[in-house]
Amino acid sequence: MFANLQTAAVKSARHYQRAAIAALLLGAMLFVASSCTKKVDDKDTTINIVLRANVKGLDPIRANDLYSSTVIAQIFEGLLQYNYLKRPFELEPGLAEALPVASADGLTHTFKLKKGVKFQDNAAFKDGKGRELTSKDFVYSWRRLADPKLASEGFWIFDGKIKGLNEWVEAMKTGKATYDTPIEGFATPDDQTLVIKLTQPYYQLYYVLAMQFAGVVPREAVEKYGEEFLNNPVGTGPFMLEKASDWVRNSKITLKKNPNWRGETYPTVGEAGDKEKGLLEDAGKPMPFAETLVFTELTEDSPRWQNLMKGNFEYAEIPNDNFETAVTKEDRTKIQPDLTKKGLRLDITPNVDVTYIGINMKDPILGKNKDLRHALQLAQDSQTLIDKFLNGRGVAAQGPIPPGVSSYDASFKNPYAYNVEKAKEALKKAGFEGGKGLPEFTYDGLADSKARQQAEFFTQNMAAIGIKVKINANSWPQFQERIKTGKAQLFGIAWGADYPDAQNFYQLFYSKNHTPGPNDTNFTNADFDKLYEASLKLPPGAERDKLYTQMRDIVVEEGPWLFNAHRVGYRLVHGWVNNFKWSEVQNDTFKYLRVDPKKRSELKPKL
C-alpha cells in the first residue's frame, strides 16, 4: 500500500513537472509575444496604410486596379495631377510646367516639362544616379502602353485618338515597327517639349493624362529589368522602392522618400470649409511630410478593423460588420463617444460611382419591351437595398451620373423610381399582367455572401410583382465572361469613375462600345449615339452639359440599367493624421498627409 502510494506520488510529481515545463514554455511564448509590443517613436513620420487587396505589379501600364494604382501613384508621376483640395475636381500641372496649350481646333496640345526633374536613383542609370527627365521618356512610356506584346489594360486611354498610334500598333504586330519608329501624334521638338496630336477632339485627354496609366518610366530601367520592371519600379515620384526586398509580395510594401524629388509645396487654396477643417494649416510647406510609407495588404475586414483600433493604420474604411459599433444610431454623421475620446474622427466622402442592374438589350424579351424594363425599375426598392446592405451609406441613384461629376443634377428624380403599384401597371402594359407569360429570368452576380444577399433581395423585389428570377452566382472572371459574351440576362454590377467627366459613364451606352467593350448591356439608340458623338466634340461647359442631360433622359427612359445607389465612403481617421481629404479620382495623396509623431506617441499607447 505504502509502495503504491510512493509510486503514485512519484507519478504525480512527474506529472506536475511536465505540466510545469509546459506552463513555462507557454509563459515564455506569451512573454516573447508581449515583449514584441514596441514603444511608439515620437519622431517617426511614417504613414501606415492598409490595402484591402494585394498589389499586382508596380508598373504604370499595369495600373488596372485601385490597390496597384495607389502604390504606383507614389512612385510614378504624369504630366498632370488633381488639385488635392479643390472640388469639383480640378487639374493642375504635375510634371508639366503649366497646363498645356491647345490649338484652336483642339487637335494639338503642347506641354512644356518642368526643368530639373530627375528619376529616382537606380542601378539602371550610369553611376546609379537618376538622370533628368525628357519629353522622349513620355513617348517611350506611352509606346509601352500601346505595345500589343505588353497587352496593357490601359491602352484604351489613347486607342484611336492619337495620330499614327494605332498604325504603329498594327505595324508592331507584324514586326514592321520598333520603339524608334516615329509616331506623328507624339512629337518631341526638344527635351522639354511634348506635342500630342489627336485624330479627333478628345476633351478627356487631360483627365487620362492624370491617370496612373500615363505615368512616365525611364527606358534604361525597363531594358535593364525587362519583365521584372514591375518588381523594380523607377519613377520620378515623391516616394521610391529603395530595394526590391522592401516589397514582400502579398504582405507589405515599404516606400522611402525620394531624395531626388522635384519638390512641391502644399496647396494654399482649397474649397469652402477646408480652412475651418484645418486643411490649410500646412499651406505653402514643402512636401512630402513623411519619410516612409508602409502599405499593408489585409484582405479580411476583422483584422483590418482591429489594427485600426490599435492605431496600426492611420485610417481605414469602416467595414459593414463594425458600422453599428462605430457610428451612432441617432446621427449617422457622428461616431460613438468612446471613439471620439480616442481621438478618432469620421470622414464621409461620396464615392464617384453608381451601382446598377444591367439588362442585356439583346435579350429577345427584356431588350424589346420598354414597359417591361420600366416595370423592373419600378419594382426595384433601391432605398431599402441601401439601408439593408450598405448600412445606409449611399444615395438612391436617379440616373447614371453620380454626384461630383460634370452635369450631375441633384434635383433630377427618376420617373420610374420604386413604386410597386406603378410597377404592376407597367407590367400589365407590357402584356404580362401579374407576370403571366413571362419565363423565369436569370440574374448573374458574384458568389460572395454580400452579393448573394443583394441578389436575393432583387428576386424578392421582382417576386412582389410576379416576375420570377433565379440567381446564378459567379467568380469575378466567370461573371465577366457571362457579361462580355452576352450570356448574362440581368446582372448586378457597378461603375466607378476613371475621371470626373460624365463621358466616362455615357460611353457605357454608346453602341460602338458593345461587348466585349464597356457597353455591357449592348444598348443601342441612334439618338443617344448622335448626342454622344456631338458631346465628344464639345469642350467642358454648359453646351456639353445640355447634351449630357438629354443623354441621361434617353437612358432613364429606355431603361437598360436599373439604378441602385451612389455609394458613400465612411472612414475613421486617427487624431494624429493631418491634411486628410479623401479623393475618389486621385491616388497620389500621401505626399499631402502629415502624421504628428508626438501626438501619435501619446495617443497610440492608450488604444
Q: What minimum distance in Å lies between the beta carbon of 566 and another protein? A: 19
Q: What's the closest the beta carbon of residue 29 comes to another protein, in angstroms?
A: 5
Contact 236, 572 (CB under 8 A): no
Q: For residue 446, what is the enclosing H or E element?
A: strand 441-446
Cell triple for 499 = 475621371
Q: Is 518 in the site for another protein (CB under 8 A)?
A: yes
- 447-466 mask for another protein (x: CB under 8 A)? --------------------
Stretch binding another protein (CB under 8 A), from 330-338, 458-466, 516-524, 567-575 = 516-524
Contact 102, 109 (CB under 8 A): yes
Residue span binding another protein (CB under 8 A) among the ranges 150-158, 187-195, 392-400, 569-577: 150-158
Nearer to another protein, 364 or 477 (CB): 477
Buried b / exposed e over 51-75, threshold 16 CB at 10 Å, is beeebebbbbbbbeeebbbbbbbbb
CB of 558 to another protein, least distance (A): 21
> Is residue 251 close enough to count as binding another protein by CB under 8 A?
yes
Q: Given candidates 4, 128, 174, 245, which one binds another protein under the rule CB under 8 A?
A: 245
Segment contacting another protein by CB under 8 A, of 246-254, 255-263, 464-472, 525-533? 246-254
Nearer to another protein, 13 or 607 (CB): 607
Distance CA 62, CA 494 (A): 21
In the complex, minimum distance from the CB of residue 529 to another protein, in angstroms, rounded to a whole number: 16
- Binding another protein (rule: CB under 8 A), the pick from 86, 131, 252, 370 is 252
Given 6, 181, 320, 485, the residue binding another protein (CB under 8 A): 485
One character per residue 13-52, x = contact with another protein (rule: CB under 8 A): ----------------xx-xxx-xx---------------
Distances (CA, A) of 439 to 310, 360, 366: 53, 15, 11
Instruction: Dig out the grid coordinates for 169 from the structure.
Output: 500598333
If one asks whether residue 64 binds another protein (CB under 8 A), the answer comes out as: yes
Q: Closest CB to another protein among 35 and 411?
A: 35
Minimum CB separation of residue 400 from another protein in Å reads: 15
Binding status of residue 539 toward another protein by CB under 8 A = no
| Per CB under 8 A, 317 contacts another protein | no
Q: Which stretch binds another protein (CB under 8 A): 133-141, 245-253, 362-370, 546-554?
A: 245-253
The C-alpha cell that represents 448 in the structure block:
460572395
Shortest Å distance, C-beta 499 to another protein: 12
SS3 585: coil
Contacts of residue 441, Cβ cutoff 8 Å, sequence gap at least 6: 366, 462, 467, 468, 469, 470, 489, 490
Nearest-approach distance from CB 287 to another protein, in angstroms: 28
* Of 219, 293, 346, 205, the residue nearest 587 (C-alpha): 293
Between residues 249 and 598, which has the closer beta carbon with respect to another protein? 249
Shortest Cβ 447–another protein spacing (Å): 10
Based on CB atoms, which residue is closest to another protein, 273 or 477? 477
Q: Which of 7, 200, 250, 320 binds another protein (CB under 8 A)?
A: 250
Q: Minimal distance in Å, beta carbon 104 to another protein?
A: 30
Binding residues with another protein: total (CB under 8 A): 54
Q: Is 98 helix (H, G, I), strand (E, B) or coil?
A: coil
**Which contiguous run of DSSP H or E holds residue 190?**
strand 186-190
Tell me the C-alpha distance between 315 and 305, whole Å. Answer: 10
C-alpha cell at 332: 449617422
Closest among 269, 227, 313 to 50, alpha carbons compared: 313
Question: Per rule CB under 8 A, is residue 533 in the interface with another protein?
Answer: no
- CB-based burial label for 180 (10 Å; 0-12, 13-18, 19+): exposed
The residues in 190-229 that bind another protein, with binding defined as CB under 8 A, are 227
> In b/e form, how buried is each residue of 468-499, taking b as 16+ CB within 10 angstroms?
ebebbbbeeeebeebbeebebbbbbbebebbb
**Contact call for residues 343 and 336 (beta carbons, < 8 A):** no
531: exposed, middle or buried (Cβ count in 10 Å: 0-12, 13-18, 19+): buried
Give yes or no for a contact between 473 and 455, defined as CB atoms under 8 angstroms apart. yes
Q: 151-190 mask for another protein (x: CB under 8 A)?
A: x-x-xx--x-------------x-----------------
| Cα–Cα dist 242/419, whole Å | 58
Q: Which of 185, 181, 206 has the alpha carbon at shortest distance from 108?
A: 185
CB 294, min distance to another protein, A: 11
**CB-CB contact of 63 with 75 (8 Å):** no
Q: Is the dihedral of CA 93, 68, 351, 304 positive or negative?
A: negative
CB 571 to another protein: min, Å: 19
Question: Per-residue contact track with another protein, 287 to 316, x per CB under 8 A?
Answer: ---------xxxxx-xx--xx-xx-x----
277 half-sphere exposure, CB direction, 13 A CA radius: 15
Return the number of the residue (59 or 77) whose C-beta is nearest another protein. Answer: 59
Stretch that binds another protein, among 352-360, 407-415, 456-464, 512-520 (CB under 8 A): 512-520
Q: How far is the CB of 31 from another protein (least distance, A)?
A: 9
Q: Is 148 in the site for another protein (CB under 8 A)?
A: yes
Tell me: does residue 4 bind another protein (CB under 8 A).
no
Minimum CB–partner distance for residue 273 and another protein (Å): 35
Q: How far is the CB of 353 from another protein (least distance, A)?
A: 13
Question: 463 or 607, CB closer to another protein?
Answer: 607
Q: Report d(CA 150, CA 171) in Å as an integer.
A: 15
In angstroms, give the least distance from the CB of 222 to another protein. Answer: 13
| CB neighbour list of residue 19: distance below 8 Å, 6 or more residues apart | none
What number of other Cβ atoms are within 10 A of residue 182's Cβ? 12
CB of 54 to another protein, least distance (A): 7
> Which residues in this chain contact another protein in the complex, by CB under 8 A?
29-30, 32-34, 36-37, 54, 56-57, 62, 64, 148-149, 151, 153, 155-156, 159, 173, 227, 230-231, 245, 248-252, 296-300, 302-303, 306-307, 309-310, 312, 475-478, 480-481, 484-485, 513, 516-518, 520
